[in-house]
Amino acid sequence: MRYTDPYGLDTTIAIARDTYTSNSVTGTISVSSDRIADTFSGYHLENRRPPNPQLPVPAGTYDAFVDQRAGRKDRIELFNVPNATDVQIHLGNFPNDAEGCFLPGTTRAADFVGNSARAMDAILDIVKRDGGKIKVIVSGGP
């Protein structure tokens, strides 16, 4: 899926689910910007059974922002996820690193994504250099 923004203001993060186990959902994550040429393609992992029964995140398009706190790597947080709060793209390797969030990586295996920090750095680099709005498009059922 490719999202285009005629005003050149958006970074688009497309998350496409394609593999389901009893513990996790994995898929691809691709990031593009209409302002800069760099893109990122990698994988993502979600906890299939987080404590909030309304998660994983329903398929749809969400506005997002960079959540910055001292002492930890920045995160991308989605706005207006139905019946959920603090849904983010953040570091992690295994399903129990996520409570309804998306963990990015550059490799994947069953219930695992690898090189999460490298993937998060690449995503944040595009988002920050674009400097505009962020849209997260989630496809595939939870």
Partner 1 sequence: MKTALIVLVSSVAILLGCAATSAQDRTGATIQAIPTAPTLDTYLGLRSAFHGDKDSCREVGANTSEASAVIVEMIEGGDAVALRAGLLVFRCWDGGLLGDFFRATGQYFDREPRGFVGLLDGYLMSRTDVQSLVATLPEGAVDDLDEQIRILRSRRASLASYSSFSWLATELENEALRREALKAQAR
Structure tokens belonging to residue 69: 């706190």
Q: Which is nearer to partner 1, 9 or 63 (CB)?
A: 63
Q: Which of 5, 19, 58, 97 binds partner 1 (CB under 8 A)?
A: 97
Q: Does 101 bind partner 1 (CB under 8 A)?
A: yes
- Kindly tell me the burial class for residue 51, based on how many C-beta atoms sit within 10 Å of its own C-beta (0-12, 13-18, 19 or more): exposed
To the nearest whole angstrom, how small is the minimum distance from the Cβ of residue 15 to partner 1?
Answer: 15
In angstroms, the CA 131 to CA 27 distance is 26
Residue from the set 51, 53, 68, 82 that interacts with partner 1 by CB under 8 A: 51
Find out whether the peptide bond into 58 is cis, omega within 30 degrees of 0.
Answer: no
Least gap, CB of 82 to partner 1 (angstroms) = 12
Q: Contact between 100 and partner 1 (CB under 8 A)?
A: yes
Q: How far apart are CA 48 and CA 137, in angstroms?
A: 18
Q: Does 2 bind partner 1 (CB under 8 A)?
A: no
Task: State which of residues 91, 127, 134, 136 lies at the interface with partner 1 (CB under 8 A).
Answer: 91
CA distances from 4 to 1, 56, 114, 126, 131 (A): 10, 26, 29, 16, 16
CB of 34 to partner 1, least distance (A): 27
